[in-house]
Amino acid sequence: MVDRLSRAFYRRDARIVARQLLGQRLVRLIEGRRVSGVIVEVEAYLGIPDRAAHTYQGRRTARNASMWKDGGHAYVYFTYGMHHCMNVVAGEENQPVAVLLRALQPVEGLDIMRRNRQSKTTSSRPLRDTDLCSGPAKLCQALRIDRLLDGEDLVLVPALWIERTRRRSHPTALIATGPRIGIANAESWTEKPLRYYLKNNPHVSRPR
C-alpha cells in the first residue's frame, strides 16, 4: 500500500522533482493516525547560483545544513519568529538544492489538521478546508512539522514521508508556473518561473 518515494526520485534536478511532486501525497503520522494531503504547490530553490536560496553563494550554516544532504532529506526552517516551512532536499549530497512545499489539498486527518491550526489562531470561526494547508507555514502547523524533523530522511523515517499517488507526473497543461512568492531583491532570480502549482486548485496559497 505504502509506496514511499525512493532516493532516486529525489536525486534529480530540483525543477524536475518540483514538477513531479505535484499530485503526490505528503503523509505525517500523528499519534498513530495518518494526516495527509496532496501536494498542489511547490517552489524550486537552485542552490549556489540562486540569489533567493538560503544556500546562495555556497552559504553553509547551522540552520541550512540539511540542504546540503543527499536528496530525500527534509529541510525545515524557522522564520519570522513564529513559522516553520518544509523543503524536500533534491539532487545529490553537497548539491544544496531543495523544493519548498507551499500547499496541500487535505485528504486524511482533517480533524487533526483543524485542531492543530485552530489552536494557534485567535479567531474562533471554524477554518475552511482551503485554510488548512494553503501556505508553507500553514501546512507545517497542520501536520505538526517543526525543527525536530529538520534533517530527517524522508526515505526512512517512520513518521513523515511522501507517497506516490500517480505513476506519471501531471501533464504540463495542468501545471501553472510563476515567480516564487515572497522573493525580493534577488535580481534576475526574483522573476524566474520556479513556482509550480496545479491550475484551478482551490488549495494553492495564492490563486492566479
Partner DNA sequence: ATGACGATTTACT
Partner DNA sequence: GTAAATCGTCATA
Task: Note the residues at the interface with DNA (CB under 7 A).
Answer: 43, 45, 52-55, 59, 61-64, 67, 75, 78-83, 85, 87, 98, 100, 117, 120-123, 131, 135-138, 147, 180-185, 205
Q: How far apart are the two ends of the chain, measured CA to CA in Å?
A: 35
Q: What does the block give as the cell for 66? A: 540539511
Residue 38 contacts residue 105 (beta carbons within 8 Å): yes
Whole-angstrom distance, CA of residue 22 vs CA of residue 35: 18
- Minimum CB separation from DNA for residue 25, in Å? 19
Minimum CB distance to DNA smaller for 98 or for 160: 98
Which one, of 162, 139, 207, 208, lies nearest residue 20 by Cα?
A: 162
Q: Which is nearer to DNA, 3 or 148 (CB)?
A: 148
Please, what is the minimum distance in Å from the beta carbon of residue 58 to DNA?
A: 10
CB of 183 to DNA, least distance (A): 6
In the complex, minimum distance from the CB of residue 121 to DNA, in angstroms, rounded to a whole number: 5
**Bridge partners of residue 76, in order along the sequence:** 86
